[in-house]
A and B are shown apart, each in its own frame.
Chain A
Amino acid sequence: MKHLLYIFFAVILTSPAFSQSKFEQGLKSMAEENWQEAITLFTMDSDSSHSVESEYNIGLCYIGLEDFNSALYFFEKALTSSPANEQIIINANLSFKKLQPEGAWTHPYNGLKRMILSLSINSWIFLSLLLTVLLSWVIYLLVLKEKSSNNRNSIILVISIPIWFFTLFGVYVAHNHASELHYLLPKNANVSSFLTVDGIESEEKLQIGKRYEVITGTQSEWVRFKGGTNKSLWIRKSDVNIY
């Protein structure tokens, strides 16, 4: 009986319904301008099941706390999953302007990537499988050398092959995007970078609000990134926010 109760609570606590309630509690805390509590609740919600909305709302909470650097990080992090969302883009842009009034915020991902990421990876998989079936059928007919429909099939083949390759590219990009680290933002102004892991300190100090491209983030404490002059540098993970 005791075990059954444990199982019951475990199921309840890990269920999406419970997660949603954390999200709603976070919204309520936001409405009461209880920013720290809202951040905690949204973080719990996002940890239980990854949520763009929670990440975005955490960003808003940091706006409430006037911590625009953290807000920018969470908005850009939310853009990783939903890069075409204008609501997030607007807030990221405004957060950046608070940090660097003279600077201009740019989207972390280029137009092609944003277009690809506007569809989920499963949509790309579905599209490419659909096109694979179509292509297979056309190839089958062409191999048969059916003279009556050869021209039509050739046209279909010529059109569908580039589209098919593009869908494969979409799957590849979406898959890599979801599994890789992209950028880092320093937590504070003038964070030191290093030429080697725990080695010589570089002259380059990281600017607050500036986004740096991650090269590798596999080490437990250090991350390798592209510096201002495209130099490969290292930095402590504890000094930066990475997404």
Chain B
Amino acid sequence: MVRVFCLSYLFCCISLASFGQQAYLDLQIEPSTAEVGQQVIIVLRTNAEGDLEFELPDEFIQSGGVQSGMSSSINYVNNQAQVEKYSYQKIAGHFEEPGKFKIGPAKLRTPSEELVSNSFIVNVIKPINMISEDPSKNLNDPIFGIIQQSSKEIYEGESLLLEAKIYSQVDIIQIDRFKNVEFQGPSETQLLHTSSEVDRNFEQIRGRDLLTFKAGKSIVFPERTGTFEISSFEMTIFCTDARSMYPSRVNIKSNESFVKVKPLPNGAPASFIGAVGEFSISAKGKTQEVEQGKVFELVVEISGVGNTHNIEAPQITLPKGLVIYGDPTEELKVNFSSRGVEGTKIITYYIQVNRATNVEIPAIEIGYFDPNQEVYKVQSTIPIRLKVIPDENNALSVAGNLEKISVEEAKDFQGPMIEKSELSNSSIVSIRVFGALTGVPLALAIVFGLMVRYRKENEDKLAIKLMTKNALRNAKDSLLEIKSTSDSEVFGRLSSILTCYLSEKWNCAPAEITRELVSVKRDEGAIDVPISNELKDLLDVFDGARFGVVDEHSAENTMLRTEEIILKIDKVS
């Protein structure tokens, strides 16, 4: 059945007050997720006047008429209060079938423009089965109350639905002083129905018709594990009394109940985010390209039913060159329903892109526990490709600090090389020159080493040789001096030259040069016999000359003999 509202309203009083305000048409629906038969309230609000066109789905059963009126609110803008006046229409009703129903948009045709409101999807779900104590055991009482709860055992993080249900065998006129059921433990509780919203019905129990109604439906999220009590609800009921013309007043108190909150089983995946229920994840970038060095916003949406309001932000693994910039922001778009918290948690990550090449943000994974199937499940997004616009200045500054990515890890081509190196591949020397440069020092080391070693080993011999050479030279020099001068003491000087030479040659003192030493040297083989005899003869001549028994004319002959003997001795040694 299509019910079309074509309503014409004249909003005359608000025209002046709304002058200067932007015209609007607003649609509000509470709740957006409802059980079959649960009351849904639709409110339309506007500050403009005109013809309203608003269509409701066929499945929506309106209860009562349309409530309309005018109201005002005070808005503070820049510390200045502004009074806003508006008119509203309120429609109450319920859905009789489960499903998703679109409500709106409403249209308001004003003389100058057409205003269009937002629209809503109302998710209508089957009523949650509630378990309760057996009412047939209480039929002795005319009125009794029993706590209804969605489960006796739930998992940590799972929601528990509680409700008060009253059974009456008499007609009820009014209820008063309602004290709802309470979960006796640390928890987060959200009232879904107020005590004024009652669901009245008739049930047959053991052949008796009982009037029943429910009140105070609430959803509880226990915060700890263990067994917890659920305290009874209480209320005062005014009902008809056949024995009196006045209604009688009855105070009732329900039973008490309990619930066991179990810890989650082992084997949670690494990506578990504390979610219990049923969830999905999606991710998208606010932009598809970003400049190098700038911040990119990655929006992750986790939608589902369960403890959506309490889930943690998933961990994201970023490729090299991307870093999380600050803390992610979280936005919750949820509503409480009998299934739990339904809606979406939007997490925005701020990621700084410090690389010059395109990049792929890997899939983001979440793990959650499905209490219906009692298993952990994993959902993930698809990877997001991000185009990076290189920043030339930034690229130059980071060029020397290229990312170290292993070959197997790399999934994207690396960016360009933006700086030229000055390295040269040509060698500074040819291979021949190199051969010479390495061979020559080694050869020289060997040659010089051997030379120095030889010199060291023959040091004494060389010294003697040098001394002998010196002695011979000195002797020759002295002989030349004698030749150029006509010295009367030539024999004495010749004797001195010979003894000096012999002393240097044989490494002894001049006084030690005697005939005996000459004989010894002969015996040692340093001189041969003729030289020995000649030496002794010369020594005799010198001794004779010292005592004046020598011919002065033989001086020249003696000089020659001395020179000859020195040369002979030098040759021999």
Contacts and interface: CB of A to CB of B under 8 A. Distances in A.
Contacts of A122: 424, 427-428
Q: How large is the interface on B (under 10, 10 to 19, 20 to 34, 35 or more residues)?
A: 35 or more
A204 interface: no
A132 B444 CA distance: 12
A25 interface: no
A23 interface: yes
B332 interface: no
B410 A53 contact: no
A140 B425 contact: no
A79 interface: no
A90 B407 CA distance: 5
A173 interface: no
Given A20-B420, A135-B442, A63 B413 contact: yes
A108 to B, nearest CB: 14
A91 B414 contact: yes
A60 to B, nearest CB: 5
Contacts of B423: 52, 120
B424 A120 contact: yes
B11 interface: no
B427 A175 contact: yes
Contacts, number: 109
Nearest to A128: B438
A143 B414 contact: no
Interface string A14-54: 00000010010001001100000000000000000011111
B440 to A, nearest CB: 9
Interface in B421-471: 421, 423-429, 431, 434, 437-438, 441-442, 444-446, 448-450, 452-453, 456
B427 A136 contact: no
Given A27-B416, A93-B407, A135-B442, A121 B449 contact: no
A128 B442 CA distance: 12
B154 to A, nearest CB: 50
Interface string A53-95: 1101100100100000000000000000100001101110111
A178 interface: yes
A88 to B, nearest CB: 8
Nearest to B448: A140
A94 B413 contact: yes
B419 interface: yes
B410 A143 contact: no
B441 A133 contact: yes
A168 interface: yes
Interface string A107-142: 000000000000011100100110011011101111
B208 interface: no
A144 interface: yes
B413 A50 contact: no
Contacts of B413: 60, 63, 90-91, 94-95
Given A132-B437, A143-B453, A86 B404 contact: yes
Contacts of A168: 438
Contact of A139 (B414, B418, B449, B456): B449
A120 B425 contact: yes
A144 B449 contact: yes
Given A86-B405, A120-B423, A175 B442 contact: no
Contacts of B415: 60
Which of B417, B426, B453 has the most chain A CB within a 10 Å cutoff?
B417
A53 B448 contact: no
Interface in B370-413: 390, 392, 402, 404-405, 407, 410-413
Contacts of B437: 129, 132
Contact of B414 (A52, A81, A90, A120): A90
> Most B CB atoms within 10 A — which of A87, A120, A141, A144?
A87
Interface residues of A, number: 46
B425 A121 contact: yes
A23 B453 CA distance: 61
A52 to B, nearest CB: 7
Nearest to A174: B427
Contact of B410 (A50, A94, A139, A174): A94
Contact of B445 (A90, A95, A137): A137
Given A81-B425, A133-B441, A139-B442, A125 B453 contact: no
A95 B414 CA distance: 11
A178 B423 CA distance: 13
Contacts of A90: 405, 407, 410, 413-414
A57 B444 contact: no
A90 to B, nearest CB: 4
Nearest to B452: A144
Contacts of A56: 416-417
A51 B420 contact: yes
A178 B426 contact: yes
Nearest to B443: A136
Most chain A CB neighbours (cut-off 10 Å) among B412, B421, B445, B453: B445
A137 B407 CA distance: 46
A53 B421 contact: yes
A57 B407 contact: no
A145 interface: yes
A140 B449 contact: yes
Contact of B442 (A50, A53, A91, A136): A136
Contacts of B392: 31
Contacts of A145: 453
A143 B446 contact: yes
B442 to A, nearest CB: 5
A171 interface: yes
A123 to B, nearest CB: 10
A219 to B, nearest CB: 24
B453 A57 contact: no
B270 to A, nearest CB: 28
B426 A171 contact: no
A175 B433 CA distance: 13
Contacts of B428: 122, 125
Nearest to A56: B417
Residue with the greatest number of chain A CB neighbours at <10 A, chosen from B411, B427, B446, B448: B427
Interface in A139-181: 139-145, 168, 171, 174-175, 178
A89 B407 contact: yes
Contacts of B450: 143
A140 B416 CA distance: 53
A93 B410 contact: yes
Given A87-B402, A175-B427, A57 B438 contact: no
Given A23-B420, A94-B410, A140-B449, A132 B438 contact: yes
Interface of A: 20, 23, 27, 30-31, 50-54, 56-57, 60, 63, 81, 86-87, 89-91, 93-95, 120-122, 125, 128-129, 132-133, 135-137, 139-145, 168, 171, 174-175, 178
Q: Give me the 8 closest cross-chain CB pairs, A-B, nearest first.
A: A143-B449, A136-B445, A53-B417, A136-B441, A140-B445, A90-B410, A121-B427, A87-B414
Interface of B: 390, 392, 402, 404-405, 407, 410-421, 423-429, 431, 434, 437-438, 441-442, 444-446, 448-450, 452-453, 456
